[in-house]
Amino acid sequence: MDLAVSCALLLCHGIVPEGSLDDTLLWAELGLDGTLRPVAGTLAVADCARKAGCTTIVVAKENSGEANLIPGLDVLAVSGLPELVSHLRGERPIKRGVSPSVELVPETGVHSDMADVRGLSVARLALEVMVAGGHNLLFHGPPGVGKTMLARRACGLFPTLDREAALEITKIHDVARRRMCGRLLQNAPLRSPHHTVSAAGLLGGGSPPRPGEVSLAHRGLLFLDELPEFPRACIEGLREPLEDGEVSIVRAGYACRFPARFQLMAAMNPCPCGYLGHPERACICSLSSIQRYQKKVSGPFMDRMDLVVPVTPVDPKTLGGQQQGESSAVIRARIVRARDRQERRLVGTPWRTNAEISAGNEAMQRLCPLTEKAAKMLESLTRSRALSPRAQHRLRRVALTLKDLREVGDVNSRVEARFVAEAAHLRRLPDVGVG
């Protein structure tokens, strides 16, 4: 607030004319020599200034690119206090910045292509459903079968960010002091923290409080490899943001909320040695060690995973074959069409994807109606698998996403039983046993 306090004193002493700072927000660090220094968070502050009714913002020249990304706001890029005083007195007016026309073009060559993936048809489908409907996905299977490889290709399937989403995530990264440049982030973010991350590093916190990995993955993907190796506080701490799309940080001196509307993708081995259920290698773990390992991921957390898919080793003939799978561009085009159907269905609601639809009975019946046969199948699955109400609703939303990907019927038509069955096939929890 150095600059604002200084200008208030100048105004009180009549050095700058009365009214010259009306509807103006001043945001910069003021050096002892009168120079203005850049500060982090300029994009978020400029957006708040616009929403508060300010028409002008004064920033250091290094921050002008960020401030200019906010439309409808005059930006004064100033190098020092004497220059600002001369402008306010009308002696040497500063040329006002113009909001640039930002085109959000996806970067090319950043992500590996899905065409490189051989086999793994069920896992590929699960990845497509996850991105299309905004769902959460857990892969479980032996080491080296392709779980991490699929995760690295996931962000290449996300549609291009619209300006609103790009502005949201750029503000978060700006506040987190990760970047200071005059352009919006173009692609959905991918965050992949190591399992040694602290709860504050994953969820946010510190002094002063800063966004964690879940907020840096907002509108993108958070990938947790070797899920059971993460501290229990981290895994259980994810339950709130997975449900509410935000993180609440409460400490003795402050309380704050960070946005965290991310998609979670996780991978885990079925047991400590990793080879439970492997077709060729025997598991050497005892039943108690397998149960202890799998219990590191609690039932309430697993209940929040829409898709739980086993990944098994690919046949060597398939792996060495010449035939490629579908490319990322082809899959992304399908996902874009499915997202378009969701956008038309969810118009007038606060939700963007099927996964965000409220579990309330009215919203579910209106936006995700089932045919009579599909309703009976869901009821049967609930009994046979002892599904919680939360798991039922998640399975139902996955079925709706499968319908969107197949482009079956009108966007508001009922979900058929075959999609409920396919959604159930994409949610298979790890088995406990001895190899």
Specify whether the backbone of 120 is left (phi greater than 0), alpha (psi in -120 to 50) or beta.
left
Question: What residue ranges do the domains of the chain occupy?
Answer: 2-88, 114-319, 331-425
Q: How far apart are CA 63 and CA 42, in angstroms?
A: 7
Q: CA separation (Å) from 296 to 235, 236, 305?
A: 9, 10, 15
**Which tens digits make up the pLDDT trace of 260-307?**
999 999 999 989 998 888 888 888 999 999 989 988 999 999 999 999
Give residue 54's pLDDT band: very low, low, confident or very high (50, 70, 90). very high
Can you give the pLDDT at residue 434? 43
Structure tokens, 277: 């259920």
- Helix axis angle for 389-406 and 417-425, nearest 10°, is 110
Burial class (CB in 10 A: 0-12, 13-18, 19+), 148: middle
Lowest mean pLDDT among 107-116, 163-172, 392-401: 107-116
394 Cβ contact list (under 8 Å, min separation 6): 135, 304, 305, 306, 355
Peptide bond into 208 cis (omega under 30): yes
Which DSSP letter does residue 97 get? B
CATH superfamily entry for domain 114-319: P-loop containing nucleotide triphosphate hydrolases (3.40.50.300)
Question: pLDDT category, 259, cuts 50, 70, 90?
Answer: very high
- The pLDDT of residue 392 is 94
Task: List Cβ neighbours of 8 (8 Å cut-off, separation of 6 or more).
Answer: none
Q: What is residue 93's DSSP assignment?
A: P
Closest CA to 429 of 312, 243, 303: 303
Tell me, what's the pLDDT at 435?
Answer: 41
Strands 204-205 and 210-211: antiparallel
Return the CATH class of domain 2-88: alpha beta
Place of tokens 């919006």: 184
The contacts of residue 212 (CB under 8 Å, 6+ apart) are 200, 201, 202, 203, 204, 205, 247, 258
* pLDDT value at 128 more than 90: yes
Q: For residue range 300-342, list pLDDT tens digits in order.
A: 999 999 999 999 888 776 666 657 778 899 999 999 999 999 9
User: Phi first, then psi: what are they for 109, rounded to 5°?
Assistant: 75, 10
Give the residue, 11 or 181, on which the prediction is more confident.
11
Q: Is 84 exposed, middle or buried (0-12, 13-18, 19+ CB in 10 A)?
A: buried
pLDDT for res 178: 56
CA 332, CA 336: separation in Å to the nearest integer? 6
Tell how far CA 123 is from the center of its chain.
20
Tokens for 210, please give them: 């800063």
**Distance (Å, whole) CA 340 – CA 353:** 10
pTM for the structure as a whole: 0.85
Q: Is the dihedral of CA 277, 283, 285, 288 positive or negative?
A: positive
Instruction: Decide if pLDDT at 106 tops 70.
Output: no
User: What pLDDT is stored for residue 109 in this prediction?
Assistant: 42
Averaged pLDDT, 176-195: 79
104: pLDDT strictly greater than 50: no
